[in-house]
């Protein structure tokens, strides 16, 4: 039977991206991690990690084992939590992962409200950008994940997890104030000559923009690559380009210098989800409930 501690080592290697990094997270030294990994590979008879150039990447077999290893760790944490619960010890820590822009609008309100209702639960928040984070929930490192999906970007599978949609957040076309197209409901194709502001390739909103443009038969020129919508908005305000920005971001942003409208044609939206393990312990559904009402307020 496999050793759970070795699986933990593998999981940390995967998350850290290097053996040295995993050692740091585990408060071990690098040789210790290297040895444990070597033993794991020896007893399975196959390579799990490709060592090379500035870090370590998992082999296909390693990815399979990572997936299961996260489940093992999750079950171990759940086992301990369950016994503590039987003893009447309420879990006093809830760790939440959220993508950055959720951390600016949705999450702060929810955290504040949750904190008032459950002052004895310590809250921890960490930045997790999609599509990461599902594994962190599976392994129990995160109790709750706030993630999103953009049109054209498939949602990750959620074996053993529960995913609930919190918010449908329309993407609005944002133009500099006084832009000739303002108020004309242009389609993306009508703005093919503009300089676009969006995330780098691989970032969800970029994938969504590219696929939407492809659907209209054009290719948009992304001149400014940033994943931070505040930066995007500042650039638009400066008149250097245009972009698609979620409505909830705009509502919280300082007005002036830009105008927003739904694009003509399809009405793209990002969707925001809460993800947690099945059979979560009590604070998690409570937090989800708070997030749900916070999301309704954002949407209303």
Partner DNA sequence: CCCCGCAATGAAGCAGTACTTCACGATCAT
Partner DNA sequence: ATGATCGTGAAGTACTGCTTCATTGCGGGG
Q: What is the CA radius of gyration of the chain?
A: 22
* One of 15, 57, 84, 227 touching its own copies (CB under 8 A): 84
Contact indicator for 198, 231 with CB cutoff of 8 Å:
no
Q: Based on CB atoms, which residue is closest to DNA, 2 or 81? A: 2
Q: What are phi and psi of 77, to 5 degrees?
A: -65, -40
Q: Is 61 in the site for its own copies (CB under 8 A)?
A: yes
Q: Counting beta carbons within 10 angstroms of the beta carbon of residue 287, is it exposed (0 to 12), middle (13 to 18) or buried (19 or more)?
A: buried
- Please list the residues that pair with 94 across neighbouring strands: 123
Q: Is 5 in the site for DNA (CB under 7 A)?
A: yes
CB of 91 to its own copies, least distance (A): 14
Site for its own copies in 12-51 (CB under 8 A): 44-46
* One of 29, 31, 39, 79 touching its own copies (CB under 8 A): 79
* Residue 157 C-beta-side C-alpha neighbours within 13 Å: 3
* Residue 187 C-beta-side C-alpha neighbours within 13 Å: 12
* One of 2, 15, 18, 121 touching DNA (CB under 7 A): 18
Question: What SS3 state is found at 173?
Answer: strand
76 interacts with, out of DNA, its own copies, none, CB within 5 to 8 A per kind: its own copies
Conformation bin of residue 253: beta by default, left when phi > 0, alpha when psi is -120 to 50:
beta
Distance CA 286, CA 283 (A): 5
- Please list the residues that pair with 269 across neighbouring strands: 170
Q: Based on CB atoms, which residue is closest to its own copies, 7 or 269? A: 7
* One of 55, 131, 160, 239 touching DNA (CB under 7 A): 55
Q: Based on CB atoms, which residue is closest to its own copies, 6 or 206? A: 6
Q: Based on CB atoms, which residue is closest to its own copies, 67 or 230? A: 67
Residues of this chain that bind its own copies (CB under 8 A): 1-4, 7-8, 44-46, 60-61, 64-65, 67-69, 71-73, 75-80, 82-84, 86-87, 159, 279
Binding interface with DNA (CB under 7 A): 3, 5, 18-21, 23, 27-32, 34-39, 51-56
């Amino acid at each position: 039977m496999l050793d759970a501690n070795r699986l933990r080592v593998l999981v940390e290697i995967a998350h850290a991206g290097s053996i040295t990094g995993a050692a740091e997270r585990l408060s071990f030294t690098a040789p210790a991690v290297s040895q444990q990994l070597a033993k794991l590979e020896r007893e399975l008879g196959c390579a799990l990690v490709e060592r090379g150039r500035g870090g370590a990447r998992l082999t296909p077999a390693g990815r399979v084992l990572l997936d299961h290893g996260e489940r093992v760790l999750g079950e171990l944490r759940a086992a301990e939590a369950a016994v503590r619960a039987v003893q009447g010890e309420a879990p006093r820590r809830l760790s939440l992962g959220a993508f950055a822009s959720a951390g600016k609008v949705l999450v702060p309100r929810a955290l504040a409200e949750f904190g008032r209702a459950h002052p004895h639960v310590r809250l921890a928040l960490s930045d997790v950008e999609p599509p990461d984070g599902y594994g962190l929930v599976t392994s129990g490192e995160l109790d709750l994940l706030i993630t999103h999906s953009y049109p054209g970007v498939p949602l990750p599978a959620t074996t053993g997890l529960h995913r609930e949609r919190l918010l449908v957040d329309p993407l609005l076309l944002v133009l500099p104030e006084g832009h000739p197209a303002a108020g004309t409901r242009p389609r993306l194709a009508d703005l093919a000559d503009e300089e676009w502001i969006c995330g780098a390739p691989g970032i969800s909103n970029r994938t969504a923009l590219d696929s939407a443009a492809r659907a209209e038969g054009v290719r948009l020129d992304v001149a400014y690559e940033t994943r931070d919508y505040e930066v995007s908005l500042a650039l638009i305000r400066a008149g250097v380009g245009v972009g698609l920005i979620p409505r909830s971001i705009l509502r919280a942003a300082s007005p002036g210098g830009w105008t927003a409208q739904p694009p003509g044609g399809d009405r793209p939206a990002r969707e925001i989800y809460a993800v947690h393990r099945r059979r979560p312990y009590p604070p998690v559904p409570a937090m989800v409930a708070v997030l749900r009402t916070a999301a309704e307020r954002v949407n209303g």
